[in-house]
Structure 1
Amino acid sequence: MAKITFYQNNKTRLTQLAGFLAVSEVESTPLSSVPALIPASRMQKKASRRRSTTCRPNKRKLLHLPRQIQKRRKFLEEGLTPLVEKYWFQRYDLFSRYDEGIKMDEQGWYSVTPEKIAITHAKRCENATVIDCFAGVGGNAIQFASMCYHVVAIEIDPLKVDMAINNAKIYGVEDYIDFIVGDFFQLAPSLKGDVVFLSPPWGGPSYKWVKKFTLDLLKPKDGYAIFQAAQAITPNIIMFLPQNVDLLQVEELCWLSSPPLQVEIEENYVRSNLKGVTVYFGGTAASSQCGSS
């Protein structure tokens, strides 16, 4: 057990300093034989100051906490699944007018082209008739309709078509788009247009975990079959592909035509983050306008 020596007239102070120890023996020594002691009140102040320093919360984090809670609460109120939470926080990058009533299903959240990139695509085919072969919830079709002569938007899922029509109305371009519920591969022989836009399903968010995204991973058929179906309509083709796509395979596509098509590859960024790769074939690679004036 610890041995504590108390000094006359200072027992109270020393008891406060050594209160956490078990005392077995106490000796009494004249006060005049030892130096002056530090007042207990001062020691208590130092201890409390030390505790307040070590336990002080991060004010910077606390300032943002209520805002984060509000965003999280708003996400839950919309009844969305956890899978799309990441994309919900990017909703204004997907549709700048999201708050006006934009509709998307779960697949639409992670497959729609960000608006900034869709505008870049549309600028390549001003005044053209564009066929959007995998329209989804309308992200690209809306921007094509804003800049092009006419748009044919094909989507096999009728629920997505309803959402795309709703979204086109919000942007005021529904009169410039013909929405068709159907299979692109069955419709391709009867389609006519100046530009074909291809953004086939990438297989969900898991595409990012593949080191090299090969064209056979595209849905519902491999990239070669999709490209050949589009090529039967026009050589002016735009493909929007994953950021980790195998570029050697992409370049091979231009050799499916005789003579080989001109090709241009573009990386697409949103807020300094690489979101995908756009490949322009034929007239879309040669100039910014490929439609009939």
Structure 2
Amino acid sequence: MGKRANLSGVSFFAAQVFNDDESTLNSATDANKQITRGTHDENNPNQESHERPADVDTDARPNKKRKVGVLGAGWEKYDATGLVPFYTHKTQVPEHLQKYFGQRERFFSLYSSGCLLDEEGWYSVTPERVANQIAERCRCDVILDAFCGVGGNAIAFARTCERVIALDTSPVRLALARHNAVLYGVGDRIEFVLADFLSFAHQLTQQQELRSQSKSAENPNTAENVLADVKPQRLFDVIFLSPPWGGPSYLTDRDTAEENITESDASTQGAPEYNLASIKPVHGRQLFSIARRLTPNVAYYLPRNTKLDEIADLGKAEMVEVEEEWMGSKLKALTCYFGGLVTGQEDRF
């Protein structure tokens, strides 16, 4: 699982897949802008007297110092402050989100520095410590975060992977994710793409099939084509799936606020088993199958009460590793690893 070099073509690939410049948001590496400031000598009020050149505009004034916002100089264009509310006190938060507000610094340790979440982000973002654990397990060259949301996992992946491709269907959530990534200092390592994963994967698969057919037609008996059929070239080492689970109601036993983290956790007791059919936007089995067409290495983030026999059926004829994600005494979710991500199965990577 070593690092690969020369990965700069991923942005070009994303643009090719959709053939639409608006599908791929501008790279954060182009954000640096030079800020110029006017200067004048405050100790010499007579400096503008009799020696002013004739061609100098007498109305010229020093440039005002620009406000750089929470992201710092050069990143102003990615500052999403004001796009969604930034809560600083529980009384500001809608009642149905107040229990999540108590967990804000577990979601983002830099929350107080200006991290932003939309309503869906409050109940769907992966806690930072959990995201860091998953990112360490998924360490690779290129990873695709198929449902990036407000960026919790993408930020963690940017610390362990050479390049992160982050997809989402909401331009607002992508803007929030990039804002948060810049706050964490990894905005230039993530490529944010406004896209639906299903369409993205379908078009990519079609292009790969067309290229394979074209090569076979030109040189049908070459060893290169035979090997390409056995192991087609892949653009992603790992795909991380964290699809919508159906909202906070996926559990019938309501979670208590995280301030009570020391209380005994009921875990999955009292909650019905979660079926992969409840995954959005398609059946969880179909979603997994689509991802496996692009890479054997998939990490699947699922509710803590997901039926284990359904998970096992996804990886027939191979080992599947299910990792429980705990925060204190509370079981938060399951991360299911497939392919070369499974401990002891690295040869499949």
- Shared fold (TM-score greater than 0.5)? yes
Aligned to 2:62: none
Distance 1:289 1:126 in 2: 12
Identity of aligned residues (%): 41
1:160 maps to a residue whose letter is R
- Is the Cα–Cα contact under 8 Å of residues 135 and 157 in structure 2 kept in the other structure? yes
- 8 Å contact 1:236–1:281 — kept in the other structure? yes
Tell me by how many angstroms 1:288 deviates.
9.9
For each residue in 1:104-133, what CA deviation from the matched residue of structure 2 results, as whole angstroms up to 9, or x when unmatched?
011100000011110111001223311000
Compared CA separation, residues 73 and 122, structure 1 to 2 (3 A): closer
TM-score by length of 1: 0.70
The structure 1 segments of at least 4 consecutive aligned residues displaced by more than 6 Å after TM superposition are: 288-292
Residue number among 262, 271, 276 corresponding to 2:319 in the alignment = 262
Structure with higher helix content: 1
Please say if residues 124 and 289 of structure 1, whose CA atoms lie closer than 8 Å, have aligned partners that are also in contact: no
Map 1:115-134 → 2, pairs under 5 A: 115-134=128-147
d(CA) in 2 for partners of 1:74 and 1:291?
A: 48
Structure number with larger C-alpha Rg: 1
**1:271 matched to which residue of 2?**
328
Q: 1:194 aligns with which of 237, 245, 254?
A: 237
Which TM-score applies when normalising by structure 2?
Answer: 0.59
**1:208 alignment partner AA:** L
Higher strand share: 1
Matches within 5 A, 1:210-225: 210-225=271-286
Q: 1:75 Cα shift?
A: 1.9
Counterpart for residue 281 of structure 1: 338
Corresponding residue of 2:25: none
Letter in 2 for 1:75: K
How far apart, CA to CA, are the structure 1 residues paired with 2:303 and 2:90?
A: 27
**Cα deviations by residue, 1:68-124 (Å, 9 ceiling, x for unpaired):** xxxx981223xx321111111011111111001100011100000011110111001
Q: Say yes or no: does 1:97 pair with 2:138.
A: no
CA change 1:121–1:249 in 2 (3 A) is same
Q: How many residues align?
A: 215
Q: Which residue of 2 aligns with 1:145?
A: 158
Q: Give 5+ residue unaligned stretches, structure 1.
A: 1-71
After superposition, the CA RMSD in angstroms is: 2.0
Amino acid aligned to 1:237: V
Partner-residue secondary structure (3-state), 1:165: helix
**Corresponding residue for 1:75?**
90
Deviations for 1:241-291, whole angstroms, at most 9, x for unmatched residues?
001101110110012xxxx33210111101211000110001111369899
Deviation at 1:234, TM superposition (A): 0.3
